[in-house]
């Protein structure tokens, strides 16, 4: 599973249970600063399962409670908000985000075969635009994460949500069937994610990301230095070709599944890492 899941999982543990728990957790799993998860890498599912079971032992909370809380945290924490911004900025409600995620997850798999996010199916309600049924059939059976992520998606947009898991794979059903209804509420300004997404700063970042996508090749790839040289021909503002700014743009595109890189290959480092445009699905 992709590194963002592992990094946000450890952040969730730290923010909810404190640094002491994280130290105990890392020590019990034999994790050191050098082996701590990175967002650019992909890790085995077993590593996450071992981590969840250890966290359950240390916190004395059932694994499913932790997974649901984590799912909610995943949708509202600052790192996901930052890295998935290219995707998140395109939608403006919990329901639209859910509807966007089947294609968006599929696009991530096109960018890296090592990533196998869930491909949701939906049944839309003819009664209400706020209702939908989501069908989930990932072999990982992480329905508590999904439940939390739906709650987090609602929270992200200042909404509340009612969810009923009508059937569950863990109880022998062929798919988990979630019946969902979102409710809009009046929210204070602080909860509105759109504020940053409407800002000039984000618009400039978005335009830069689109230009990066345009100049990247579809195979072999460019290093950061090479990309910087190519962009200097298109951009007059030297601020926009600073490595930190370009890395941000590449990170946003990678987390939308639009760019692939050699990050997960043996011997990779930031200097030698190459980036190319991922094949485009129908998202």
The binding site for ligand HEM (CB under 6 A) comprises 1-2, 4-5, 84, 87-88, 97-98, 101, 105, 108, 115-118, 138, 140, 142, 145-146, 149-150, 153, 255
- Cβ of residue 116: shortest distance to ligand HEM, in angstroms? 4
- Cβ of residue 133: shortest distance to ligand HEM, in angstroms? 14
- Cβ of residue 123: shortest distance to ligand HEM, in angstroms? 16
Alpha helices in 143-283 (DSSP H): 143-156, 194-197, 200-215, 224-232, 243-254
The residue assigned the tokens 């939308």 is 256
Task: Rank residues 24 and 122 by Cβ distance to ligand HEM and give the closer one.
Answer: 122
- Cβ of residue 234: shortest distance to ligand HEM, in angstroms? 27
Task: Rank residues 117 and 158 by Cβ distance to ligand HEM and give the closer one.
Answer: 117
CA–CA distances in Å: residue 146 to residues 136, 143, 167, 244: 9, 5, 14, 33
CA–CA distances in Å: residue 50 to residues 29, 35, 142: 8, 15, 14
Task: Rank residues 113 and 188 by Cβ distance to ligand HEM and give the closer one.
Answer: 113
Task: Rank residues 22 and 97 by Cβ distance to ligand HEM and give the closer one.
Answer: 97
- Cβ of residue 101: shortest distance to ligand HEM, in angstroms? 5
Task: Rank residues 47 and 223 by Cβ distance to ligand HEM and give the closer one.
Answer: 47
Of 215, 205, 218, 210, the C-alpha closest to 248 is 205
- Cβ of residue 118: shortest distance to ligand HEM, in angstroms? 4
Task: Rank residues 208 and 254 by Cβ distance to ligand HEM and give the closer one.
Answer: 254
CA–CA distances in Å: residue 21 to residues 39, 72, 280: 21, 20, 42
- Residue 47 DSSP SS3: helix
CB 194 within 8 A of CB 213: no
Task: Rank residues 134 and 231 by Cβ distance to ligand HEM and give the closer one.
Answer: 134
- Cβ of residue 268: shortest distance to ligand HEM, in angstroms? 17
Strands (E), the chain: 121-124, 131-136, 159-167, 176-184, 259-261, 275-277
d(C-alpha 175, C-alpha 166), whole Å: 10
CB 39 within 8 A of CB 7: yes
């Amino acid at each position: 599973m992709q590194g963002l899941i592992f990094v946000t999982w450890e952040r969730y543990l730290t923010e909810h249970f404190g640094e002491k728990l994280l130290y105990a957790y890392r020590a019990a799993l034999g994790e050191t600063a050098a082996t701590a998860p990175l967002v650019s890498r992909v890790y085995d599912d077993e590593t996450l399962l071992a981590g969840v079971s250890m966290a359950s032992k240390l916190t004395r909370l059932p694994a499913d409670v932790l997974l649901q809380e984590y799912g909610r945290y995943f949708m509202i924490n600052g790192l996901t908000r930052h890295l998935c911004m290219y995707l998140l900025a395109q939608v403006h409600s919990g329901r639209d985000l859910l509807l966007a995620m089947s294609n968006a997850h599929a696009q991530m798999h096109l960018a890296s075969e090592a990533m196998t996010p869930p491909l949701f199916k939906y049944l839309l309600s003819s009664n209400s635009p706020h209702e939908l049924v989501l069908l989930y059939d990932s072999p990982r059976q992480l329905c508590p994460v999904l439940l939390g992520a739906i709650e987090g998606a609602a929270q992200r947009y200042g909404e509340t949500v009612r969810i009923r898991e009508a059937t569950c794979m863990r109880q022998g059903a062929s798919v988990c069937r979630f019946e969902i209804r979102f409710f809009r509420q009046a929210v204070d300004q602080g909860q509105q994610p759109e504020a940053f997404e409407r800002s000039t700063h984000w618009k400039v970042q978005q335009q830069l990301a689109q230009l990066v996508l345009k100049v990247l090749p579809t195979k072999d790839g460019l290093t950061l230095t090479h990309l910087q040289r190519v962009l200097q021909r298109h951009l007059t503002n030297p601020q926009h070709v600073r490595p930190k700014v370009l890395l941000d743009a590449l990170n946003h595109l990678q987390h939308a599944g639009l760019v692939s890189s050699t990050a997960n290959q043996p011997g990779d480092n930031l200097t030698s890492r190459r980036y190319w445009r991922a094949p485009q699905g129908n998202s």
